[in-house]
Amino acid sequence: MTTMTVLGAVLGGALVGCAGTSGDAPGDRPAAASTTPSRAPSSAPPAATTPSGIAPGPTGLAPVLTRGPKNAAKVVALTFDADMTADEGPRAAAGEHFDNPELIALLRRLKVPATVFMTGRWAEEYPSQARSIGTDPLFEIGNHSYSHYAFTSPCYGLPTMKKDAIRGEVERAFGAIRKTGARNVVPYFRFPGGCYDDASLRTLAAEKVTAVQWDVVSGDAFATDADAVAEQVLDGVKPGSLVVMHCTRSAAPVTGQAVSRVVPELRRRGYRFVKVSDLKRG
């Protein structure tokens, strides 16, 4: 097996849930997020809810969202991870594209609301795109850590961050994202690789953010067959589904093509696209 093959396998696994890059750093606080106001369900006691409206779980762990309510209407949330690791600056400088402006433009043309989980390093590399996404009401930006290092180990070969760095990662990413001028920043966090444990959730609870996983893996990471990605999404989506995809050209080159197929087909089936913050309301 060649080195590249091994690397591809490792990264491919990592990208299952988030996309295979790594990164790291600190930032600002989510609390003041210019997120859409009032997601908080009126049924929950305000004092016990996070800004995202989900009450902390037992033992002080942050809530984990994997999909909408069981009785959800025909709504589906497409989420796109904007991965870039702290050590990938030289690759970007050499011409590698960790962004995917064409995909964002496509979502705009199709009028598909979406949630972008952005690493702080990505926001630093592409500040104008981060600001553009974060000031467009069609989108909202969640936190995908600063560095894209794993919060637990093993995690698909991602480097693991030190335990004492975790809180700084969340804050540094929010800071980097806000520094671009992005305003639609929501208190949601997606773990790099989707890997976490109770300690990670305790840290998130302290940061007052909700962990957002998924129930449908698009398989777009390093995919070369857009139809296969589209089929996987179309086969997996149910009312209230939360789909994980990527908006990173170098790591997910066919995502735009897949979205072009998925969106009209799901609409034909009666689905409406929503952001994660709207998904929670069913």
Rounded (10°) CA dihedral 152, 154, 156, 161: 40
Residue 82 CB, nearest approach to Zn ion (Å): 8
Interface stretch with Zn ion, choices 51-59, 82-90, 164-172, 229-237 (CB under 5 A): 82-90
Rounded to an integer, what distance in angstroms lies between the CA atom of residue 236 and that of residue 258? 14
- The verdict on 118 binding Zn ion (CB under 5 A) reads no
Rounded to an integer, what distance in angstroms lies between the CA atom of residue 121 and that of residue 47? 33
Q: Judged by CB under 5 A, how many residues of this single chain contact Zn ion? A: 4
Q: What is the largest CA-CA distance in the chain?
A: 56
Residue 48 CB, nearest approach to Zn ion (Å): 30
Residue 84 CB, nearest approach to Zn ion (Å): 9
> Is residue 242 within a helix (H) or strand (E), and if so which, with residue range?
strand 241-246
Residue 256 CB, nearest approach to Zn ion (Å): 18
Rounded to an integer, what distance in angstroms lies between the CA atom of residue 50 and that of residue 62? 9
Place of tokens 């997020």: 33
Residue 17 CB, nearest approach to Zn ion (Å): 7
- The verdict on 185 binding Zn ion (CB under 5 A) reads no
Work out which of 24, 28, 83, 278 binds Zn ion, going by CB under 5 A.
83
Residue number, 83 or 278, with CB nearest to Zn ion? 83
Residue 242 CB, nearest approach to Zn ion (Å): 15
Interface stretch with Zn ion, choices 76-84, 123-131, 219-227, 233-241 (CB under 5 A): 76-84
* Burial classification of residue 5, based on how many CB atoms lie within 10 Å of its CB (0-12 exposed, 13-18 middle, 19 or more buried): exposed
- The verdict on 24 binding Zn ion (CB under 5 A) reads no
- The verdict on 130 binding Zn ion (CB under 5 A) reads no
Residue number, 83 or 169, with CB nearest to Zn ion? 83
Work out which of 11, 18, 116, 155 binds Zn ion, going by CB under 5 A.
18
Work out which of 16, 19, 223, 226 binds Zn ion, going by CB under 5 A.
19
- The verdict on 220 binding Zn ion (CB under 5 A) reads no
Nearest to 150 by CA among 129, 136, 131, 169: 169
Place of tokens 């952005």: 118
Residue 76 CB, nearest approach to Zn ion (Å): 20
Residue number, 20 or 53, with CB nearest to Zn ion? 20
Three-state secondary-structure class, residue 79: strand
Nearest to 237 by CA among 272, 277, 188: 272
Q: List, as one string, the DSSP characters of 141-186.
A: EEE--SS--BSSSSSTTPPBPPGGGHHHHHHHHHHHHHHTT---EE
Interface stretch with Zn ion, choices 37-45, 81-89, 169-177, 248-256 (CB under 5 A): 81-89
Work out which of 81, 99, 169, 207 binds Zn ion, going by CB under 5 A.
81
* Interacting residues with Zn ion (CB under 5 A): 18-19, 81, 83
